[in-house]
Structure 1
Amino acid sequence: MVSQDILRKYARLAVCVGANVQKGQMLVISSSVDCAYFTRMCVEEAYQAGAGEVLVVWEDEKITKMAFQHESTETLANIAPWRIEQRKNCIDKKCCFLYIESATPGLMADVDGQKMQTVRIAKETAFEPFEYYTMANVGQWSIVAIPTVEWAKKVFPEMGGEKALESLWDAVLSSVRVSADNDPVEEWKKHNQDLMRHCRMLNDFRFQSLHFTNAAGTDLTVELIPNHIWAGGCSPAQNGAVFNPNMPTEEAFTMPYKFGTQGRVYATKPLSYQGKMIEDFYLDFKDGKVTDFSAKKEQETLKNLIEFDEGSRYLGEVALIPYDSPISQSGILFRNTLFDENASCHLALGASYPDNLKNGTEMKREELEKLGSNYSKIHCDFMFGSDDMNITGTTFDGRKIQVFKDGNFAID
């Protein structure tokens, strides 16, 4: 099984490169109880890095499922004031966040989808005033994942529990560049430099739109917001600390113009949403808005996603990931968006990130929306990349540039 030395490397990477907690800063860790052993390591690393305070918020997906099965919608949707005050207190202290994931794919498959939708809307509404803190990178935040037997058996159903867990650990550690004989901090410095090089290249072209096509049937044009910025890898928070929001990450992403997407896109990987797995689906767009959709599995869950609020019918992100990227080449379907989105070009329904627009983090919500940025209480990525994906970019001065050919970058 994974050695203590490897786990320690991973914890140090999550705290010092992911969240990059600063001297005297508060770190808030959200973690499953199944990851307690790793979370304790992260707490230790945070204090060693000089954190002034560490708060751990525990979660248990099995207890959450039992609550959905037995409590009323009204009870579940009643967000306790102390929870809102706790979040406000942390943000008032200018904290940073670390999220440790270990969700079991499809765990909530038999839970009432409408109940989950109502509760999710209540939670997002209650915590909405605080979402800008992370969406606009006011403070640092990062997401990492820890394998569990339940998750591993979904990824490797042909294996026994312990063998599946070992295989998933190997895949996760490889994706975050942690091994017995390397320095993952140095590996991530190099990786961030490579991602920033791609972003600079894309920014230099100043694309007005991107046209995506593949044999699956995707024929989609995504107009980009003027003065958009491609980003990827590490990001600077407004306090100056440089952090990595997602570990792993392989993407270069930017902001679509809210009303500028036309055509049809087919998903190429399942999407885990609210504990359910949406599979084999497509979306039709006209003037930026989803006008039609279908899924062979979890159609109702896809409907709930699209109809979450007005902004969830529009795109908030377009991201490019080459087919020959390491996670894609592993051939593993993780059934977890943190990993699967970094194996495939993806789009996000819902909110845009303000830092994908020039001076966007200095603008108020109304200013951003006036320029064509999308606002929503949610942000949900879905994957549509493939080994035959072709992308043609049209620049603001009318040039046509082949950006992707057969799934990989055609520009350098």
Structure 2
Amino acid sequence: MQTSELRVALFTGNYNYVRDGANQALNRLVGYLLAQGAAVRIYSPRTETPAFPSVGKVIGVPSVPLPGRSEYHMPLFIPPSVKRDIRDFAPNVFHVASPEILGHRAITLARKQGRPVVASVHTRFETYPRYYGLTFLEPVVAAVLRRFYRRCDAIFAPSESMAQLLRDQRMNYDVGIWSRGVERDIFSPEVRDLAWRRELGIADDEPVIGFVGRLVMEKGLDVFSDAIDKLEHRGVRHRVLIVGEGPADEWFKARLPNAVFVGFQKGADLGRAVASCDMLFNPSVTETFGNVTLEAMAAGLPVVAAIATGSQSLVNDGVTGRLVRPGAISAFADALQHYCEDKDARAAAGAAGRAASERYGWDAVNQELVEAYIRVIRQRHDHREPPTQRPR
């Protein structure tokens, strides 16, 4: 089977109405598939004000704002008109990217049509309750996720550490890797801009600790701010640069009154902001990969991160940065202090990270998923002949 013979139906709760690492990866995948001659149709909630233009044809599905997080939309069901569109499109593989109602309904539809279905895992939803005082719900969420992923022919994690966790959690018996790439022309040490830092009131010799991402509690904002408090109490010279926006914006600003907040950045502006830091601090344990970690490495920054899925597969402890036990405030502060006070250590770790980032290219990682599509299609074909496909 050739790539050009693929007909992929992609189902996701967020394709482009809020920008995040997951949907940017999905848009890149669709662009790669279309460039290789494959046919793709995306089924997702839509809004009148998307965060960025979508790649490929998007068919809207009914949705409502998610309670407590109204910027996100919760798909409700697959209406008859969309089912007809799926039938006419005649996909030979279903790809579900989020474990909610739309994903469940898509799996059911794929099973009725005798089509293989794969899932990509983009975040650790089972960890979210702990950030909202509902830790007791984690086993329940994990059980719901297990039921979802076990209905799929195969599932794909963005990092080996996440893949191993999924195996340990018995989410599926066929767990593969769909990694992530990095735009090295955007994320590079060469775009570091001291003049831009000066405009923000940051001196050339001040070590800058960067945070990049959506400002939501599950990104570990409490751990980040507590570790910064430790540095300030120790009298360690530093500045904090926050790149991003989100529901916890005001909370984070109140916790870090001396930090510089530059808001949401994208493209070349984001690359400049990252490269103009001196280190990245990523205490989150919810990522399955950590795009911002890879982007910081490509920009030549050491990374201080939690020992968690994603970071474990990217950061070489003591070489490209430091890995610290989740929530260990003093240990995080120790690692940050080391890089704030030792310029040579920063440079060495940054150079090592830059070199390590070179093996991550978007075309290569997307081609691996394409090959996985073809493998699961053949596996299902070997067990049961699928219905006759409609011509392209």
TM-score normalized by the length of structure 1 = 0.28
Q: Which has the larger radius of gyration?
A: 2
Decide which structure has greater helix share. 2
